[in-house]
Amino acid sequence: MRAVWFSSERVSYSLIANPKFKNVPELRGKKIGVTGSLGATNHVSLVIALEKLGLVPRDFNILALPPTEMVRSLESGFIDAASLNPPAMFFAEKKGFNNILDIGSLVEMPGGGLTALTKAIKDKPDEVKRVILALQTAKDIIQKSKEKSVELMMRILKMDKEIANDTYELFLRTLSKSGIPTRAGMENLLKSIQARGRFVDKKPAFSDLADDRLAKEVAKQLGYKLQ
């Protein structure tokens, strides 16, 4: 399998804290909740962000909690901060908690990806390209159709209009313009996998993880300027 296309190039998490905390260093020794499990994307992206800020992740008490418990754990004081994404982060902000760090602004980690068998890439490149073209075109339409996209989020995801609008705006900031897999993004995804104890003794090359050729061809077809 190889990654051939991505919807987003950055995570949408932010560090949401008790109002008494104004910046990340103040959380040293405090409890920070992450969703999923330790070693999952939420945890690894937080660790990468802390390192980029020049902080030592082990100075923070990072706990894994169920997604449904995060905001309640903040409210009860069981945790001092949480790494949240929409819509939970907006629910927490409405309750008065502080957004003290946009993790996504520091962490290039792709999401919403498409993978394909190497055999399919080799034997059926036109078919794979058609799928990439359909996904990329749909993403472009969403970017140009805010009103319809927000209405759909309100109806399907049961959000109110304000939160749906804020989620849409954040979605736009995390999008990959062309969908082409990047080396930095794949390296961070690999860190997430290795943090779970898998492939820790291997150093796979970019070509072992992703094949960006077809996404580049689609991007050129759609008129994107490639570096």
Domain ranges of the chain: 2-7+110-181+208-221, 8-105
pLDDT of residue 196: 66
What pLDDT, in 10s, does the model give residues 78-94? Answer: 999 999 999 899 999 99
pLDDT of residue 189: 82
Q: Which residues of the chain have pLDDT under 70?
A: 196, 227
Topology (CATH level 3) of domain 8-105: D-Maltodextrin-Binding Protein; domain 2 (3.40.190)
Task: Count CA atoms within 13 Å of residue 115 on its CB side.
Answer: 10
Best CA proximity match to 167, nearest among 72, 76, 56, 91: 91
pLDDT of residue 227: 67
Specify whether the CB–CB gap between 62 and 46 falls below 8 A: yes
Please give the model's pTM, rounded to 2 decimal places.
0.80
pLDDT of residue 204: 85
